[in-house]
A and B are shown apart, each in its own frame.
Chain A
């Protein structure tokens, strides 16, 4: 477990059935009234299952885990899923590190001695050993050739994907610029209509698939007189859900608002979910928005968006 805080330790003990009944009831009552705490329990449970799968839980704790976690088929599925996830995540590591990887050497720890012994005597054993070395060298060289070919293939694929992604980003960015220009135009028209008053709605458009790690965050500039903030989250065609749910949090994870039962609306660029909220709820700073699709009682994450809010004077 990474976080050794007291709270997490209590949750671990709870999940292993190691707390007195009264303390168990306290944990449950808090979980069912505090969504943050409920998520903490679920996160700790996932970590605990991963630790078990990776053999990090030993001894009495392992027996406790097995007694408690293997009881229901639902939990056994969670364990099997964790095994599969560890397996697949483990596969992806060599692909990422392949450039750094060196071919394994079975005699690395004693090669000097072995070589000295072989060179010391020109016997049939020496000749046989040299032939063996040649075979190994040939195998290593073939392996490297195959690896190089494979890496070239992967690199071409990655470059093609990157080109596609860039084209897509450019198209989306252009759409965002058009939308922004349109909003500015409307605001200007409104200003003229109202005799110079500032538009009362601050708006922001969030696009899917744009990497949030590069460049500045999209910014929602809120004029002083704005009463309403409007955030338009553009959907991709695959995001075909009857309803949507939006969670808005500050950068530090504090919940600002959660809104369910939102429906997609037609926009100039396809479909979008529109979130409108009082501008006063958004103080300047960074925010994270989670968009989920809801269908027959289940919700699925669609995307996470980071943006910043600034006061416009």
Chain B
């Protein structure tokens, strides 16, 4: 785990010691072997690679890890290296999840070690996390993204998330009746629009943020 820990006089200017966990490097050859194992068709292999990576991100996120993206890269790198070294792996998409579980144990161990070090030091200052963007910026971006949605999707998402408790339930009931769909379909439709909006908002924040 990347730990940002420092023992120091709290009055002095904070100086952060970053302890980087050693990460493996993915060579072009190893990546090619991994893609080849996913599918001989390069386009299909690319699509499968993205799916595998997304699943790994989900896995590390669900398990409450600090850097799901980096951990996903690391799991793929380790699997790719084994394939490049000649290990026979029939189903890399499943195998890589096993590698991820082993990596998770390492991450937990490193976290535990960091906690022990922190507890043993008399004055440990955890480096402050960088301030997140202005919440108003995200709201403004969301308004912009909503403006770009088709009108029926915009109305659906706003009505779906509008109100509290019983008002929300009533709104959703009205939506199922109006759209002639069941609750499950409505929920999945709202989720898809929500995901699409979130990508749009993050792109907008990155573009116009500080």
Contacts and interface: CB of A to CB of B under 8 A. Distances in A.
A68 B59 contact: no
A87 B178 CA distance: 24
A13 to B, nearest CB: 12
Contacts of B178: 213
Interface string B132-143: 110100110111
B121 interface: no
Contacts of B94: 32
A212 interface: yes
A253 interface: yes
B92 interface: no
Contacts of B57: 74
Contacts of A15: 62
Interface in B111-138: 132-133, 135, 138
Given A28-B62, A81-B198, A211-B152, A50 B192 contact: no
Interface stretch (A89-97, A104-112, A267-275, A276-284): A89-97
Contact of A71 (B66, B185, B193, B201): B66
Interface stretch (A129-137, A140-148, A195-203, A299-307): A299-307
Given A88-B142, A253-B185, A83 B135 contact: yes
Interface string A186-217: 00000000000000000000001101110000
B108 to A, nearest CB: 11
27 contacts: A17-B64, A24-B63, A28-B59, A32-B55, A41-B62, A43-B191, A71-B66, A72-B61, A74-B61, A74-B68, A74-B69, A76-B132, A81-B198, A84-B138, A84-B201, A85-B161, A89-B162, A209-B150, A213-B178, A251-B185, A253-B184, A260-B47, A297-B46, A298-B199, A303-B150, A306-B179, A306-B181
Contact of A84 (B50, B59, B139, B192): B139
A72 to B, nearest CB: 5
A84 B142 contact: yes
A77 interface: yes
A97 to B, nearest CB: 10
Contacts of B201: 81, 84
Nearest to A293: B196
Contacts of A69: 64
B80 interface: no
A249 interface: yes
A212 B179 contact: yes
Contacts of A211: 152
A88 B139 contact: yes
A88 B191 contact: no
Nearest to B171: A93
B102 interface: no
B39 interface: no
Most chain A Cβ neighbours within 10 Å, of B64, B101, B132, B199: B64
A42 interface: yes
Interface in B171-195: 172, 178-185, 187-189, 191-195
B67 interface: yes
A156 interface: no
Nearest to B140: A84
B169 interface: yes
Contacts of B196: 300-301
B42 to A, nearest CB: 13
Contacts of A41: 62
A25 to B, nearest CB: 8
B14 interface: no
B106 interface: no
A96 B153 CA distance: 17
A78 B62 CA distance: 13
A68 B65 CA distance: 8
A92 B164 CA distance: 13
A144 B185 CA distance: 41
Given A83-B135, A84-B139, A212-B179, A93 B163 contact: yes
B97 interface: yes
A179 B133 CA distance: 50
